[in-house]
A and B are shown apart, each in its own frame.
Chain A
Amino acid sequence: MALFILRRLGVMVASMLCMTFIVFALTNLPANLEKLAKTQAGTRMTDAQVQSWLARGGYAQPMLRRYGEWLGVVPGHAGDASAGETAGRCARAAMQAGLDRAPRYCGVLQGNWGYSTKFRAPVGQVIAERLARTGVLMFWAFAVMVPLALVIGVLAGMREGSATDRTLSTVSIASTSTPEYVSGVIFVVVFASSMVGLKWFSGSAKSAVDGITFHNFTLPVATIALYGLGYIARMTRASMAEVMTAQYIRTARLKGVGFRAIVLRHALRNALIAPFTIIMLQFPWLLTGVVIVEELFVYPGFGNALVEGAQNNDIELLMAVSVVAVVVVLITQLISDIGYALLNPRIRVT
């Protein structure tokens, strides 16, 4: 088991390096750098001005070298100190820390995530604040989605082919057919607009930053939960239906155990192994949903940082966003594999 985890961790590190380099390469294409220069220092720059701006910021060096700087394995570009420039990442880090001399290495490995050109704040600070907000949103979405999906799946799967099963399965299919930008629009029109006139909830989650209420948080949470709900429910149903045909369930029935006791005591535990992995693998899927919902309901979280970073080619913010996203994906994959092996004694990892 330990060897398995070690090997997986090795693959994870390799994947991380590959992916952060891909993001770095894409954000550092000449056209994107030019966009960055123009959004930062004025749109009417000449080509020569753009070049000199990029050179001063240290953007003109070879890409591999700058990737190394970002990572913290290559000494950072310090700017020309005699000219009083503080554009290099190390100089800025030194300034914030109140040091006289800039450190030589100042990349991610040293804990320096860089400076967000869009929000004009250290990336670490931006990301931490945004992740906390998105974490709250995700927590409530999961708190609504998972229990509901498991109940629907178990109810549908315990009597396969019954009217309950067919109804609930159709409901799950409908839910998987409703992406967030569709359900969000429909929810806002029905529950927040003047057209239907219900006006129960707010169509904007902006005020949720100061405090979560039913009024401002119900619609975003419901929108995220709805799309994932059907998928988990269908997996639970399939798993439950399979367990219900197993030999030991038949034996329990022949023994005269009641249906309720069979479902609760014998079937449920085995039926919930497969959904567990599915739920873990939902995390990366939910990122797209989070971005859409945060855009639609104007909630300044992690997804909003992704959109803003991409639209302004904020390189270091985007790098941090992708590191966080990729780490979440890889760790949930690992947990789902390990958890699956632990929950199911028939699976042995060697």
Chain B
Amino acid sequence: MDPLSWTGAPGPWLNPALGVAVLALAGAVVAHALARIFASGAQPITRRAVWVTLGAVALGGLAHLAGALVLAPDDTGIIARISARFWPVWAALGITFALSLALRRRLGLYGHLFENPMGMIGLGLVLFWVFTAIFADLIVPFDPVADVISGMKNKPPGTALRAPEPGQYGYYLLGGDALARDVFSRVVMGARVVLGIAPAATLFAFMVGIVLGVPAGYLGGRIDTALAFVANLVLAFPVILLFFLLVTPEIIAMGVPTYMAAVLFLFPIVFLVILWNARFHTRPVLRAVTVGLTVLVGGWLYLGLAWDADPLGLISIPGGVLIVFVAVVFVNAPTVFRIVRGLTLDIRTRDYVAAAQTRGEGAWYIMLWEILPNARGPLLVDFCLRIGYTTILLGTLGFFGLGLPPDSPDWGSSINAGRGLLQFFPFPPLVPAVAIMSLVLGLNLLADALRQESLRD
């Protein structure tokens, strides 16, 4: 079979037209910018030119879309076929956006996002990758690790399989990598690895930062000095050196990640126990139930995740993933600590804290139920930004081949595997690079919009 083209059958005559339209749009935008600076009299004309050319580009795009929907499946190109593979994501995105737009008045801060175009784009990008990670099994045409098909090594996008078996997908849509695996399937599955680690690691870093940072800011004194010294120590440590020292097979063999996980994974349980205890200490039954449940469920997860000793045998993480997770939490926690400490120092002086102190509330109640909820705005924004930063850190680890097994489909490892032959076979590293960039861009845009919208309230 012939290799696929990017745009399929309508491409040869539609693409030149679209190219002209895009060039015209670029020209119009430049002219408009120049008119703004030098000749404000010409602005109405250039503005109209921008709109007209934008319309032409949109028309071209719509023609492609219509073509992809109307044409026989065999005539469609790579872009149309990839879009078709993503159908569960489009459906989920459509439902989410329709529901959110309809109910946006009742959704608080989340609803406000839909009044901010950049926020909507950011949310769209993030949700795209989240749904991709969820529905990855439905999207991938091949197994990202096991399917090594002969003759597909370093092939360009759209290459047809030489001898497809019945029921097998006929093309490598984004080409094959150096081991003849499907680049498209690897990127899609990589989303699952990245989005499985990054948000959870960020959440753990926040737990550590909050459990240590709120008391440091609220109580001050020796604890504060000691914790701040340790935090500054970790912060002054170059991230990359820490990764190279911590994330090596020798260290994993020594069991260091297990000990670090044993310490770091305790923090969420401690946090929740203190949280319930402070809230319900006047209602013994409720307190016993909530604290007991937390210890029971938390302890079970803790045994499984940190010590790989789940009595039920359900939960365990492989050593490579655990060390990556722990390293990322360890690097992020001191920054969160500093932010939380600073916020606490600020909020500590407010009247409602003084009121709670006069009422005779306990220190932990004030910290977790008076101060923390009032710090949620900046923390939410930082949480978004930090997931993006964590994604970048994961990519860095993968780029140096640290931690995750080399055949793991995560984006950093794929870039690492493909960078040697980058100048000759650009697609295996280029596609995951664009994936990382779009996810982080989405998170950063979302954080920026959240900051703007929460300031407006």
* Interface, chain A (partner B; CB < 8 A): 11, 14-15, 18-19, 22-23, 26-27, 29-32, 34-35, 166, 169-170, 173-174, 176-179, 181-182, 185-186, 188-189, 192-195, 203, 284, 287-288, 291-292, 295-296, 303, 306-307, 310-311, 313, 318, 321-322, 325-326, 329-330, 333
Contact = CB atoms under 8 A, between A and B. Distances in A.
Contacts of A321: 241
Nearest to A313: B250
A310 B412 contact: no
B236 A330 contact: yes
B426 A189 contact: yes
A182 B437 contact: yes
Nearest to A192: B423
B422 A203 contact: yes
B430 A179 contact: no
Contacts of A19: 233, 236-237
Contacts of B392: 179
Given A185-B426, A203-B422, 12 more contacts: A15-B236, A29-B251, A29-B254, A30-B254, A178-B441, A179-B436, A185-B430, A186-B433, A284-B238, A288-B239, A292-B396, A325-B241
B258 to A, nearest CB: 14
Contacts of B445: 170, 173
17 contacts: A15-B233, A19-B236, A26-B246, A29-B250, A32-B250, A35-B250, A179-B436, A181-B395, A181-B399, A185-B426, A186-B430, A188-B422, A189-B426, A288-B238, A296-B419, A321-B241, A326-B236
Interface of B: 118, 229, 232-233, 236-241, 244-246, 248, 250-251, 253-254, 388, 392, 395-396, 399-400, 412, 415, 419, 422-424, 426, 429-430, 433-434, 436-437, 440-441, 443-445, 448
Contacts of A318: 241, 245
A188 B426 CA distance: 9
B395 A193 contact: no
A185 B424 contact: no
B415 A177 contact: no
Contacts of A303: 240
A166 B449 CA distance: 12
With most chain A CB atoms within 10 A of its CB, the pick from B245, B424, B429 is B245
A331 to B, nearest CB: 11
Given A26-B245, A179-B395, A31 B238 contact: no
A202 B177 CA distance: 23
B238 A329 contact: yes
A34 B251 CA distance: 12
A192 B238 CA distance: 31
B422 A288 contact: no
Contacts of A35: 250
Given A179-B396, A188-B423, A189-B426, A26 B237 contact: no
Given A19-B233, A182-B433, A194 B412 contact: no
With most chain A CB atoms within 10 A of its CB, the pick from B253, B419, B433 is B433
A189 B421 CA distance: 11
A318 to B, nearest CB: 8
Nearest to B246: A26
Instruction: Name B's interface SS.
Output: helix
A287 B238 contact: yes
Contacts of B443: 177
A284 B236 contact: yes
A306 B244 contact: yes
Contacts of A14: 229
Contacts of B395: 179, 181-182
Top 5 A-B pairs, shortest CB-CB distance: A310-B244, A31-B250, A177-B441, A177-B440, A189-B426
A322 B241 contact: yes
Contact of A173 (B233, B236, B240, B444): B444
A65 to B, nearest CB: 21
A322 B242 CA distance: 10
A218 to B, nearest CB: 15
Contacts of B238: 284, 287-288, 322, 325-326, 329
Nearest to A163: B36
Contacts of B396: 179, 181, 288, 292
Nearest to A310: B244
A152 B152 CA distance: 46
A64 to B, nearest CB: 19
Contacts of A178: 437, 440-441
A193 B444 contact: no
Given A29-B254, A326-B237, A185 B433 contact: yes
A30 B251 CA distance: 10
B382 to A, nearest CB: 14
Given A173-B441, A182-B433, A189 B240 contact: no
With most chain A CB atoms within 10 A of its CB, the pick from B238, B415, B426 is B238
Contacts of B248: 32, 310
Given A177-B440, A322-B241, A194 B424 contact: yes
Contacts of A189: 422, 426, 430
B186 to A, nearest CB: 15
Given A182-B437, A288-B238, A325-B241, A177 B250 contact: no
Contacts of B244: 306-307, 310-311
A243 to B, nearest CB: 18
Given A31-B250, A179-B395, A291 B240 contact: yes
B81 to A, nearest CB: 21
A47 to B, nearest CB: 15
B423 A193 contact: yes
A306 to B, nearest CB: 6
Contact of A174 (B229, B388, B441): B441
B250 A185 contact: no
B237 A182 contact: no
A35 B251 CA distance: 11
Contacts of A292: 396, 399
A121 to B, nearest CB: 21
Given A31-B250, A182-B436, A310 B444 contact: no
Contacts of A18: 233
Contacts of A34: 250
Nearest to B443: A177
